[in-house]
């Protein structure tokens, strides 16, 4: 069942959960996967030398209030709204699995990524706090931190040889991530096999965060 939802609007999220419960009677698993990426200069960088990771727009201009808020609203507030909305139902059931999608950018610093990286770092801490709050209700809250993957969001930086090599040079396993790598972990975190795992951020990144 598809329910069009703007995760930046708490009322939309509440409606999503209500419709899911009406249709299925319960919610066993919530995966918070909505995300947004912009590469922006926090303050003007007129002399910035562009790399294979091209900025989303001219670095001679600073990040606007609207751009900053857009990233925070989607990547952080959306996760919070979804977790907050589904928790009462999972408490009622006495069981639930919440999987938040974080990023290696939550712990690794790169230029032009202030808003995105801060939003993902906050998701990590939100995951840990909610895991502590909701453990008494048998709700496990964990996060997956993907590394470098060629997806619709990042494809522009992968499409030429220079960009691809730039990605691979930063990955110890020297290959791009496969969506199956993430999917198998999501299945594990959603299943009863992970019933004793909560409050964790698992990075699936080919060794990027091990350095």
Listed in sequence order, the DSSP H helices in the chain are 10-24, 65-72, 78-93, 114-134, 155-158, 161-169, 179-190
Q: How buried is residue 73: exposed, middle or buried, by Cβ count under 10 Å (0-12/13-18/19+)?
A: middle
For the chain, the C-alpha Rg in angstroms (whole number) is 18
Q: What's the CA angle centered on 54, arms 50 and 55, to 5 degrees?
A: 95
Is 196 in the active site?
Answer: no
- Buried b / exposed e over 90-109, threshold 16 CB at 10 Å, is beebeebbbbbbbbbbbbbe
Between the CA of residue 128 and those of 38, 121, 204, what are the distances in Å?
A: 26, 11, 18
Catalytic option among 48, 81, 116, 137: 116
Whole-angstrom Cα distance, residue 60 to residue 62?
A: 7
Helix (H) or strand (E) segment spanning residue 146: strand 139-146
Any idea which residues carry the catalytic annotation? 116
């Amino acid at each position: 069942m598809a329910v069009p939802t703007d995760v930046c609007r708490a009322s939309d999220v509440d409606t999503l959960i209500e419709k899911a419960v009406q249709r299925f009677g319960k919610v066993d698993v919530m995966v918070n996967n909505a995300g947004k990426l912009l590469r922006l200069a926090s303050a003007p960088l007129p002399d910035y030398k562009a790399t294979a990771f091209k900025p989303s727009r001219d670095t001679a201009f600073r990040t606007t209030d609207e751009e900053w808020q857009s990233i925070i609203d989607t990547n952080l507030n959306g996760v919070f709204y979804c977790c907050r909305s589904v928790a009462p139902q999972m408490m009622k059931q006495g069981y639930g699995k919440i999987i938040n999608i974080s990023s290696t950018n939550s712990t690794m610093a790169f230029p032009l990524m202030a808003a995105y990286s801060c939003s993902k770092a906050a998701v990590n801490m939100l995951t840990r706090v909610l895991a502590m709050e909701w453990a008494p209700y048998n709700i496990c809250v964990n996060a997956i931190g993907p590394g470098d993957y060629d997806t619709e969001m990042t494809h522009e930086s992968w499409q030429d040889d220079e960009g691809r090599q730039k990605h691979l040079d930063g990955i110890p396993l020297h290959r791009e991530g496969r969506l199956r790598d993430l999917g198998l972990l999501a299945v594990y975190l959603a299943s009863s096999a992970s019933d004793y795992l909560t409050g964790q951020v698992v990075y699936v990144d080919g060794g990027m965060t091990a350095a």
